[in-house]
Structure 1
Amino acid sequence: MKKLLFTFLITTGTILFSCQKSEAQSKDYKDARLSVEERVEALLPNLSLEEKVSQMRIFHANIGVEADEKGSLKLSDRVVKKLKLGIAGIKNPAEHMDALAAAKFNNELQKYIIEHNRWGIPALFVTESYNGVDAEGCTKFGRPIASAASFNPELVNRIWDVVGKEARLRGMHMCHSPEADLVRDPRFGRMSEAFGEDTYLTTQMVTNAIKGVQGDYEGLGKGTHIGAVAKHFAGYGQVLGGTNFAAIEISDRTLIDEIYPPFEAAVKDAKSLGIMASHGDLNGIASHGNPQLLTGTLRDDWGFKGYVVSDANDIGRLHYFMKVAETPEAAAQMGLEAGVDIDLYAEDAYALLPEMVKKNPEIEKLIDRSVRRVLRTKFILGLFDNPYIDIAEVEKGVRAQSSLELAKESDLESIILLKNENNTLPLNKNKKTKIALLGPLVKENTTEMFKSVVGKNIQFVSEKGFHLTDEKGGNPKLLDKDPKAIAKMVEIAKNSDLTILFLGGDEFTSKEAFFTNAIGDRATIDPVGAQDELIEKIKAIGKPVIVVLKHRRTLSINTISEQADAILDTWDLSEFGDQSTAKIIFGEVSPSGKLPVTVPRSIGQLPFHYSMKEINYKKGYLFMEDGPIYPFGYGLSYVNFEYSNINISNSEITPDSVIEVSIKVTNTGAIKAKEVVQMYIKDEIGSVTRPDKELKGFDKIELNPGESQTVSFKITPKMLKFTGLNMEKILEAGSYTVKVGSSSENYLETTFKLKK
């Protein structure tokens, strides 16, 4: 009896001690004086297996997170069940509400989540950013590829700073953006989401975007900014045939030297909180099941400490789509072992982990590894200490006048002048003129935007004419040619002094191709519909024709380039895009954008980017002029910039030295203007075949009429490293040419040698 009593007391004491320990741990993780790591380790042991797995899953708000008729929180039974265990995060809650309503709603949602899981763990609310925050009521900026055309990283930093602030004020915490992918195939419908074809330009833009959206990292804990999730790691933009979900064929050397650097900089320099894995495969290994990629390269080599999230449902797809896992359970284990910490959306992947642990308890160690990373992110963001938004700050912080002005500034720096025959532009707003605004890319407010720029001397007549597609959701169809619409526009042009044609493409002709029946990629890159015919007929009238090119993918604009007197390439600008375009057309600002991609003459030239290997340029094609329509880095101005006096500080560089190249740039025009001075380096002889040239520096300067400036660039040994014969980064002695000028094809050059 005494022994039983002793055993009871010991057992009771153990239980009491365990409860006291658990209570102590639950208090520890709430102690803001502890380090992030200490708080994570205090909280993690408290969680049940099911609660841990819930911290590895994100679901979309569209499964039942909505507002009732009074704007209050309304949850489906499915969501209520999920939130009892807590959750890693929710994608796009309140995305269709204005910022103030969203902030109130997300506060209510977060409060519910905290109060309905045992440990009061807050959730991450996740958005995306392609034209600013992907939600109602925020400042709408131009797409990333448009801002890349500015060649102004500091401007990009300020844009994404606004994105981070506006998103946080809505109650958001993470952003599945920016894209660090290179986009070199204009068939790919997602082209405009990234920053172009070049490694160096993309690296500069991505790091500045991440630093901006994260508030230089300090804004995370202060609650002023959100965390970035750089994507898609790695090689996603290189899908075969330009079709989403297709296989990826990249040599290891190209992967290391060209595809990896923007991601490596996102981790090491910009401290991105998250990384999203790629839909695709590398050398036949699916990225979501690739431990060498997601753990070896990303974590062991680069030191990444954040979390890796799957692209939508892609862990489950290791089984039923990629077909590299025999069962759904094998797919879940493959993703977990590779290093994917969060399963986005799926019910057939990490949802299976609790049952899998019963059969293989060792899996829980990997689960703990991932949960640590997710909890760490939540502590870094300050969500345990300050999970709610100060409603009083929302209205004055979202769509502030300074943000709207920044959108306009970004547009003006991003618009590219491709052609200006006989100085057609700028137009004189003081001269009485009747202008036709015509074409399928004319918007409802285009005339209003143009009128806001000019005085009473200019008369506008506007006519859209026809749509490019039926504009139906996932799989839009091209419309039949409308001769009456074309004839009407021709008649308007005849009765006008000149025509501004709005041509190109829209959100229906270039978009993401989802897994279901949603098509967004194209088999050709010619302008769709009757656009070429339209410009030919209007040009035949004999009056000036100015083209405003709007698009989300590179187009082979052969006819447009031949027929137009002037072309402004605007990509996809902000909500003020047409107003900004009008300011350029009427000379308020000289255009200063440069092409972030190469513009091919034909789809048959693909793959086609400026930094291909020199041997790629040996032969052209029958019946077609060699080269691009417009090269990478190209863009005209309303003034001429004269380049002269290129000098190099030393004709030799060593592995331990730095040299400097300088050039004199003079504005020989009559107005103030900006110019992007670009530096390219060519390795003349390599132990492996080398790129024809590589962008290694650029500087955007502004000069008054007659003003000169000497622009200098440092050349470092790091710039000259590449992956050698033994697949290791090397510096190779030999001759190099440095080219400095206004584009990848217009420059002055000098030489130097690397001596070891």
Structure 2
Amino acid sequence: MMKNKWMGMVLATAVVVPCFAEPDAPYKDASLPVEQRVEDLLGRMTLEEKVAQMRIFHANKGIKSGKQGELVMSKDVVARLEYGIAGIKNPGEPDSPEQAAKLTNELQEYIIGKSRLDIPAMFVCEAYNGVDAHGSTRFMRPMNMAATWNVDLVNRIWTVTGREARLRGFHMCHSPESDIMRDPRFGRMSEAFSEDSWLTTEMVVAAVKGVQGGYDGTGVNSTHIGAVAKHFAGYGQVQGGRNFASIQISERDLIDQVFPPFKGAVQRAHAFGIMASHGDLNGVASHANPWLLTEVLRKQWGFKGYVVSDSNDIARLHDFMKVAESHEAAVEMALKAGMDVDLYSDLAYVHLTKMAKADPSLIPFIDRSVSNVLRTKFKLGLFENPYTSVGDTKMEVRSEASLALAREADLESAILLENKKNTLPLDAAKIKKVALLGPLLYTDTQDMFEQVTGDAVEYVSAKGFALTDGKRGRPALMPRDEKKIASLVEKAKAADVAVLFLGGDEYTSKEAFFSGAYGDRDLIDPVGPQDELVQRVKALGKPVVVVLKHRRTLSINVISDQADAILDCWDLSELGDLAVAEILFGKVSPSGKLPVTVPRSIGQFPFEYSQKEINYKKGYLFQKDGPLYPFGHGLSYGRFTYSKPKLSGKEMAKDGTLTVSVDVSNAGKIEAKEVVQLYVKDLIGSVTRPDKELKGFEKIELKPGETKAVAFTITPDMLMFTGLEMKPVLEAGDYEVMVGTSSADVQKAAFRLK
């Protein structure tokens, strides 16, 4: 595209486009080192231009496609772009991919043309399950991704996501969610990967490397986008499971468990951005925490990207957190702590120009933040490649290959929780009629099942009842309707097998927004008459298969007791029920494993598998001990057997390694995949230690009768923890190695660290 070509563009106000950039300025020379380009450009900028590079606003301020597909901007947007901008969130989100590409090209052309120094903007999206924009491939949610326990597969999903984002004209995504998630009361649970630090770290690293252009990251300056790992730090453990609540985590647990996924994103995957947490951290607001944002993130970990606020949170240091006397005081606190970019707010960094003129001591902090933003833009290749190809966008976004990848991932993420008397797989040759019933049944579910079984099986399908009234802000539960329940039971009575689609929907588990919207729960039992439906259908004497769909862990005691089989699907892709049908009818063996522990009730909280060993001394009155389903659990149509794990030695030097190996065999009659899991336990420590910790996993595929050897290397860093003096320690002593099919089904070996 040629600069300053405005044909077809409609503006809500007249704009004069100055052009003062020097064509041969050093910062425009892509052959020079990035730091030299940053220094040169920063030295040419006015204070107003610098502050503009510290703000991001949302496209809903007035950026859209007109009736003829032309760019339309409001007067508000034009005013916001007077001195440039760090970035804009979600331009073109409601448009088709190709229209979004056209819009972002025109928007970028305007911004560069308006800029005195030709500084482009970053366009930013969300990417929980693919690019969160119309027409993009909708993959499953991160919790599903972790349930695959397949790092390569997750990397490929995020590689496609990064490519589709760049093709639409995006350059950064506020993803992946890098918190460990241990409280299912929290409505945003499925946005994260797991309850476990190791599994989450591996998934986050795979996601960041994928979205940024593969493991070598070479695509980030042209074909892919930068990742912003969030929410730093501990956001998945807000008190009471309530969005915006405080976060209380011991410093030791913070270092040993919460930090590793973020550290992996920074040091292993080289994430371009970090987003701070809405909450505080042990009393210190995250957006004003210099220890967190500067000491740990930059000095200890060497982070070179930019730190962005969560929505409006810098101003909320005054309005909400009540740690700043005024908005100006909030700005100074955040700036000095290490907050580079203000997301959305018109009450925070908008004051910086005036503040810096009155107090020049703020300018070095401004220069630090602007340098971090400019460095990112140079690394993204925006000065050389600010536009996207509309033709490529139309061909590549939501391609057949991307949809096939979504299906592959769905198949690997579904978790077979129960399979009593080998109810599954269903035999299409013996079953004449199947009832597809329940509140989580979709309009296209039957069509997808028919694609799998053809004319061999007759289906009857009915949703029956909804769980909520569907109100986005504060949904209400629907009253019990006997006629609707009885109708579902009658349909089940006429079928050979009842497949019940149960769990929760997008209204029973969601983000609780600041403006009065709720999304968290104080209970995690299934809502509505779902338990009753299972019991009444079970009483018919027909096989009952439950397909569980949800966005938070549910305590499914009645379902577990009554159902003959349970396929736990969390929140699959747009083609999810196709995978469900293939698994139920035995086209593919399920291979997903639980990325979280399933408790019997919320009263067992905390219930993550890696609690301190002393937490398991006593159970609860009138309740069975242990979880309903353990972390790492997942059944298969294969029948796997494990040999006794073998260690390469009985002792390990502090600077050495050990290898643990095991033979895994498929004694079943169907080809299947298995996730071999490695756990380690420190038997005696100077501080109380976890009962066990995941330290490795590998997903393998075995034909009937096949055996494979799986080996893991135990390294010193796997055994390190934060000791009495709050420093990393590696303590001599006895350790236990556990290898198996879940955290509760393992075989053990022992060694001593010298």
TM-score (norm 1): 0.96
Percent of matched pairs sharing the same residue: 63
Structure 1 partner of 2:421: 422
Once the two structures are TM-superposed, the CA of residue 455 in structure 1 deviates from its matched residue by 2.2
Structure 1 partner of 2:38: 40
Partner of 2:258, secondary structure, is: helix
Letter in 2 for 1:344: L
How far, CA to CA, are the matches of 1:30 and 1:687 in structure 2?
56
Mean CA deviation greater in 97-106 or 426-435: 426-435
Deviations 1:470-495 (A, max 9, x none): 00111111110011100000000111
How far, CA to CA, are the matches of 2:172 and 2:656 in structure 1?
41
Deviations 1:34-86 (A, max 9, x none): 22111111111221111110100000000111121112111111100111110
Structure 1 partner of 2:16: none
- 1:82-231 counterparts in 2 under 5 A? 82-216=80-214, 218-231=217-230
Q: Is the 8 A contact 2:21 2:118 kept in 1?
A: no
Letter in 2 for 1:197: E
Deviations 1:283-326 (A, max 9, x none): 21111000010000000000000000000001111111111111
How far, CA to CA, are the matches of 1:477 and 1:26 in structure 2?
62
TM-score (norm 2): 0.96
How far, CA to CA, are the matches of 1:519 and 1:85 in structure 2?
37
Once the two structures are TM-superposed, the CA of residue 192 in structure 1 deviates from its matched residue by 0.2
Once the two structures are TM-superposed, the CA of residue 333 in structure 1 deviates from its matched residue by 0.5
Structure 2 partner of 1:71: 69
How far, CA to CA, are the matches of 2:451 and 2:218 in structure 1?
37
Structure 1 partner of 2:500: 501
Q: Is the 8 A contact 2:439 2:466 kept in 1?
A: yes
Structure 2 partner of 1:324: 323
How far, CA to CA, are the matches of 2:686 and 2:331 in structure 1?
42
Q: Is the 8 A contact 1:450 1:578 kept in 2?
A: yes
Structure 2 partner of 1:11: none
How far, CA to CA, are the matches of 2:33 and 2:714 in structure 1?
41
Once the two structures are TM-superposed, the CA of residue 142 in structure 1 deviates from its matched residue by 0.3
Structure 2 partner of 1:4: none
Structure 2 partner of 1:6: none
How far, CA to CA, are the matches of 2:218 and 2:459 in structure 1?
46
Once the two structures are TM-superposed, the CA of residue 241 in structure 1 deviates from its matched residue by 0.4
Q: Is the 8 A contact 1:220 1:380 kept in 2?
A: no
Once the two structures are TM-superposed, the CA of residue 220 in structure 1 deviates from its matched residue by 4.3
How far, CA to CA, are the matches of 1:315 and 1:42 in structure 2?
29
Structure 2 partner of 1:530: 529
Structure 1 partner of 2:471: 472
Once the two structures are TM-superposed, the CA of residue 219 in structure 1 deviates from its matched residue by 3.8
Once the two structures are TM-superposed, the CA of residue 394 in structure 1 deviates from its matched residue by 1.1
How far, CA to CA, are the matches of 1:429 and 1:537 in structure 2?
25
Letter in 1 for 2:168: R
Deviations 1:516-569 (A, max 9, x none): 111000010000011001111110111000000000000000000000000000
Deviations 1:600-650 (A, max 9, x none): 000101111000001111111111111100000000001210111311001
Q: Does residue 594 of the first structure (1) align with residue 593 of the second (2)?
A: yes
Letter in 2 for 1:235: G
How far, CA to CA, are the matches of 1:42 and 1:723 in structure 2?
42
Structure 2 partner of 1:61: 59
How far, CA to CA, are the matches of 1:254 and 1:81 in structure 2?
46
Deviations 1:564-595 (A, max 9, x none): 00000000000110000000000000000000
Letter in 2 for 1:285: V
Q: Is the 8 A contact 1:26 1:119 kept in 2?
A: no
Partner of 1:562, secondary structure, is: helix
Q: Is the 8 A contact 1:219 1:226 kept in 2?
A: no
Letter in 1 for 2:498: T
Mean CA deviation greater in 396-405 or 442-451: 396-405
How far, CA to CA, are the matches of 1:399 and 1:329 in structure 2?
45
Structure 2 partner of 1:655: 654
- 1:200-279 counterparts in 2 under 5 A? 200-216=198-214, 218-279=217-278
Structure 2 partner of 1:396: 395
Structure 2 partner of 1:15: none
Structure 2 partner of 1:436: 435
How far, CA to CA, are the matches of 2:574 and 2:220 in structure 1?
31
Once the two structures are TM-superposed, the CA of residue 397 in structure 1 deviates from its matched residue by 1.4
How far, CA to CA, are the matches of 1:173 and 1:215 in structure 2?
12
How far, CA to CA, are the matches of 1:315 and 1:507 in structure 2?
29
Letter in 2 for 1:422: K
Partner of 2:360, secondary structure, is: coil
Structure 1 partner of 2:357: 358
Mean CA deviation greater in 210-219 or 194-203: 210-219
- 1:639-650 counterparts in 2 under 5 A? 639-650=638-649
Letter in 1 for 2:285: A
Q: Is the 8 A contact 2:677 2:739 kept in 1?
A: yes
Mean CA deviation greater in 462-471 or 219-228: 219-228
Structure 1 partner of 2:675: 676
Q: Is the 8 A contact 2:220 2:226 kept in 1?
A: no
Once the two structures are TM-superposed, the CA of residue 698 in structure 1 deviates from its matched residue by 0.4
Once the two structures are TM-superposed, the CA of residue 26 in structure 1 deviates from its matched residue by 6.8
Letter in 1 for 2:86: A
Structure 2 partner of 1:19: none
How far, CA to CA, are the matches of 1:645 and 1:283 in structure 2?
44
Structure 1 partner of 2:693: 694
Pick from 70, 77, 80: which aligns with 2:78? Answer: 80
Q: Is the 8 A contact 2:644 2:748 kept in 1?
A: no
How far, CA to CA, are the matches of 1:302 and 1:620 in structure 2?
40
Q: How many residues align?
A: 734
Q: Is the 8 A contact 1:25 1:43 kept in 2?
A: no
How far, CA to CA, are the matches of 1:283 and 1:410 in structure 2?
38
Q: Is the 8 A contact 2:21 2:116 kept in 1?
A: no
Mean CA deviation greater in 379-388 or 302-311: 379-388
Deviations 1:350-394 (A, max 9, x none): 101111112211101100110011011111111111111112211
CA RMSD in angstroms comes to 1.0
Once the two structures are TM-superposed, the CA of residue 117 in structure 1 deviates from its matched residue by 1.8
Letter in 2 for 1:158: R
Q: CA 1:495 to 1:715, structure 2 compared with 1: closer, same or farther past 3 Å? A: same
How far, CA to CA, are the matches of 1:433 and 1:36 in structure 2?
67
How far, CA to CA, are the matches of 1:89 and 1:479 in structure 2?
42
Partner of 2:324, secondary structure, is: coil
Structure 1 partner of 2:482: 483
- 1:542-581 counterparts in 2 under 5 A? 542-581=541-580
Q: Is the 8 A contact 1:25 1:46 kept in 2?
A: no
Partner of 1:29, secondary structure, is: helix
Structure 2 partner of 1:7: none
Partner of 1:664, secondary structure, is: strand
Partner of 1:453, secondary structure, is: helix
Once the two structures are TM-superposed, the CA of residue 709 in structure 1 deviates from its matched residue by 1.0
Once the two structures are TM-superposed, the CA of residue 218 in structure 1 deviates from its matched residue by 3.3
How far, CA to CA, are the matches of 1:343 and 1:523 in structure 2?
32
Q: Is the 8 A contact 2:650 2:752 kept in 1?
A: yes
Unaligned runs of 5+ in 1: 1-21
Structure 2 partner of 1:734: 733
Q: Is the 8 A contact 1:26 1:43 kept in 2?
A: no
Q: Is the 8 A contact 1:680 1:739 kept in 2?
A: yes
Deviations 1:672-719 (A, max 9, x none): 100000000000011100000000000100011011111110001110
Structure 2 partner of 1:346: 345
How far, CA to CA, are the matches of 1:41 and 1:710 in structure 2?
54
Structure 1 partner of 2:374: 375
Once the two structures are TM-superposed, the CA of residue 116 in structure 1 deviates from its matched residue by 1.2
How far, CA to CA, are the matches of 1:222 and 1:321 in structure 2?
38
Structure 2 partner of 1:12: none
Letter in 2 for 1:182: I
Once the two structures are TM-superposed, the CA of residue 221 in structure 1 deviates from its matched residue by 4.7
Letter in 1 for 2:566: I
